A and B are shown apart, each in its own frame.
Chain A
């Protein structure tokens, strides 16, 4: 794995021995995509090691994805984030072979997508995985309910079955009453709800979101993010979510993969990405984030041993190390003194007013 999984204390890093492992929803190993007519040849040659720019100058081929490996746990919301051109949209398409990978494997619940026959691939797309697109991709000549039922129709389900199922999904995403409208009669946010319902209708194991809310205005976007969180609670699907919006990534992601130029820069939980950026690129990226909203106490507490050990209070509030700084601030500031931070039963650190204020004030300075 060339990806640098930082920081080392990451507790959520998942196992990489994914083959046949039912605990891994998605296992991606050594995935490459080179665009151009002689991609296979370049893959085998040493040119593959050239940088993106050098390769393009030398051969005219463009590296879309370079040696990407990661695992996604069942039920996890895994966010892939990067700026435009970083390869994130290519990555999500490689996962279902909407674009053929040049090298590497993708396993979905133990099944190797990259080795599948066309027939099996079709079946996987029909039943196992579904996708939500930035520009919705609805069929303008079909009613809402028929758009939602499209996947079921494609896999040959009977008319009444798919109608019932589609109606359920329409209700689930809050579009009851609009089922007989045509997409162009709906607003952007409502159209994307149709897209969501369509993806849910097939009852897939994994849902992929390709920048689904980028085309929506901020208010509607917030609604839709909350909608995704709600749906995730209700249906508990594994989700792979592509975005270029860091706030969205931090809000939705259990873990975040940051990409640049087709390579992984960092994989980690939101607080890891903000607290311990892998390099200046990520640091720069996360500099505008209100840190107190993301960081947990783990990132601001002091080592009780460093202060000689006498500093650890014996009473007062006890806070958990994975509590968000902002949520803990009131308690700490009210207490006028160090508070204990625990992980399980063990005291792992202390925080006082100053630790909290350092995070909050730093934000003020930054802005």
Chain B
């Protein structure tokens, strides 16, 4: 208390002596926005359908054709160019052969052998041993069961491929991200130079990375790795910097007073103290990598994304679900394991779920294991914990069965190739084809039972909300829309976001996809509105009641580890392809993060203020509407910001399930040769939309935050 009291006192004295502070001027944002809306509606009524810059799907602009030509040139002549053929080509080749090396090791036949070098039994044994050493017995059980489940559902080599892509990307992320993060933490100017780049990278939806990299590296594993690593790099760098920066200043000062050099400081003080945070960074990096590695299926990246994409294309919900579930299991496995590893680095278990990604499923299963079977046993009072050397001995001894398993898997076919379990007594019920059939039967039954309602909802929402808003945005003349967006940016955030908006509008105009961008924007706005309604309802309940929080939060945590791709599957099953389906998937994807932010904001409202309002006799509704929501305004804006970005990235992915517009153009760019340039432009337009929405929301947050 003394510290803050002294500080407060210092401020108090000087402020107390100030004779007068100018009150702030009112902004009247509401009136400005109404004015903008009136102008918009009038123009819409007057010029509906003119100057809309609509472009048919197969039509292309001059620029888009030029990009096609550029691609052709790169593919034909580029090989002789020192940079494209030389540098980039070498990188691409290196990555391709690296991926191939690992694939031959565990997932594809290593010719002349008919099977990979190490069969499934060896892989499971090695994975289990590594997990045991780094993350403990619980995680080992989880990893073993997860890996076996991939084999049982018949997706062994796909899941190995996904692990390879994710693993290589994360490894490169650590190699690049760790030094950069450290450098940023130690130099302010480096930090100020790199932070905006990271901001921008995180603002771009995953989809807009696809085309540009495919242009230079072609479609295939190399592009998949590069995409994944670029997408997963920012969290690694950010969290590393944060971890090192937040090492207690007192400790640093004490160390400096003992005469440590810069390197000593880093190695002996900062890195050890930031270790746990850095492992959290690796966890976040890995989750981002996994979600991108599945999306990379669109550029022919190997892995679990492929069965999802091909199943979605033929509307086979069952097959998509099986592959989707495998992705979810993998996400849970990686998340829990790295979280357990990060907790272990501190030697304490009470710092639960450092990344905030505890997962109820595994939690429930593993809590039920007897105590002796878990790493907790070592911490009990009766069983003394293993000493360091004892632990080392145990780990070495366990290597023997691992080696045996690896050898077995090299020699016997049934341990090399995961056996087909469709005829095995119990396992056949959870084999891939059977699961697909059952899920299809179940969804047919379910959807057949309720599709009159779901289709009714879909039709009415489409007719009454989606269509009118989409018309308003896409049938207004482009210059009206441009002015409206500029004016909104100015009203909400001042001239800075207005300038950024102008630049982004310019970019979108250049891509020639103005009309499609407006369609995407309208879907994004609807989904974000939906997200915020749900997030406020849930968030207020969670923020006000601990019990509600305990009940809801595990679900949000679980939903957050699911890669975006997977959300398409249930949405598709319920609502059939269409814009509404894309909106629902986007909403489901963005609700968890937005809800958490709202809940944290509500809980963050000063408890004294809440108590003061209670003491004044506020009813519950007065408390929420007059105190809690207004005081959580900053969090609400932040939640909207995050909601917008999540929704945007998902709405474009929704292009695959009938969402149309930009997302569909990106996908078409890979399947239709002549549309490559247009797809790339769509990616750029998505990025521009993302930056524009993010900046408007961010400046608004800065202005209306407290």
Contacts and interface: CB of A to CB of B under 8 A. Distances in A.
Given A181-B23, A184-B706, A126 B12 contact: no
A131 B614 CA distance: 10
A136 interface: yes
A122 interface: yes
Interface in B1-31: 5, 8-9, 11-16, 18, 20-21, 23-24
B630 interface: yes
A242 B611 CA distance: 16
B12 A135 contact: no
A153 B704 CA distance: 23
Contacts of A98: 611, 614-615
B612 interface: yes
Interface stretch (A7-15, A138-146, A274-282): A138-146
Contacts of B16: 187, 189-190, 220
Given A133-B608, A188-B8, A189-B12, A151 B706 contact: no
A237 to B, nearest CB: 15
A130 B21 contact: no
A181 B615 contact: no
Contact of A137 (B608, B630, B706): B608
A123 B619 CA distance: 10
A217 interface: yes
B617 interface: yes
A153 B619 CA distance: 12
A154 B631 contact: no
A217 B608 contact: no
How many residues of A sit at the interface, in one of the four size bands? 35 or more
Nearest to A140: B706
Contacts of B21: 178, 181, 185-186
A96 interface: yes
Contact of B612 (A122, A124, A133, A181): A133
B630 A139 contact: yes
Interface in B586-645: 606, 608-619, 622, 626-627, 630-631, 633
A137 B619 CA distance: 17
A126 B613 CA distance: 10
Interface residues of B, number: 34
Interface in B236-295: none
A177 interface: yes
A154 B617 contact: yes
Contacts of A302: none
A155 interface: yes
Contact of B616 (A135, A151, A186): A151
A53 to B, nearest CB: 23
A215 B631 contact: no
A267 interface: no
Nearest to A187: B15
B630 A141 contact: yes
Given A138-B609, A140-B706, A185-B21, A202 B616 contact: yes
Contacts of B619: 122, 154
A182 interface: yes
Nearest to B11: A187
Interface string A184-226: 1111111000010010001000001000000111011000000
Contacts of B5: 215, 217
A177 B11 CA distance: 20
A286 interface: no
B606 to A, nearest CB: 7
Contact of A150 (B24, B616, B706): B616
A133 B417 CA distance: 70
A232 interface: no
Interface string A91-124: 0010010100000000000000000000000111
Nearest to B612: A137
Nearest to A152: B616
A180 interface: yes
Given A134-B608, A216-B8, 8 more contacts: A122-B617, A133-B608, A135-B608, A150-B616, A154-B626, A177-B20, A215-B5, A217-B5
18 contacts: A96-B615, A122-B617, A131-B615, A134-B608, A140-B706, A141-B706, A150-B616, A154-B613, A154-B618, A177-B20, A178-B20, A187-B16, A187-B18, A198-B616, A216-B12, A217-B9, A220-B12, A220-B16
Interface of A: 93, 96, 98, 122-127, 129-131, 133-141, 143, 150-151, 153-155, 177-178, 180-182, 184-190, 195, 198, 202, 208, 215-217, 219-220
Q: Which 10 A-B pairs have the closest CB atoms?
A: A137-B612, A217-B9, A126-B617, A187-B15, A125-B617, A180-B23, A137-B608, A131-B615, A137-B609, A135-B608
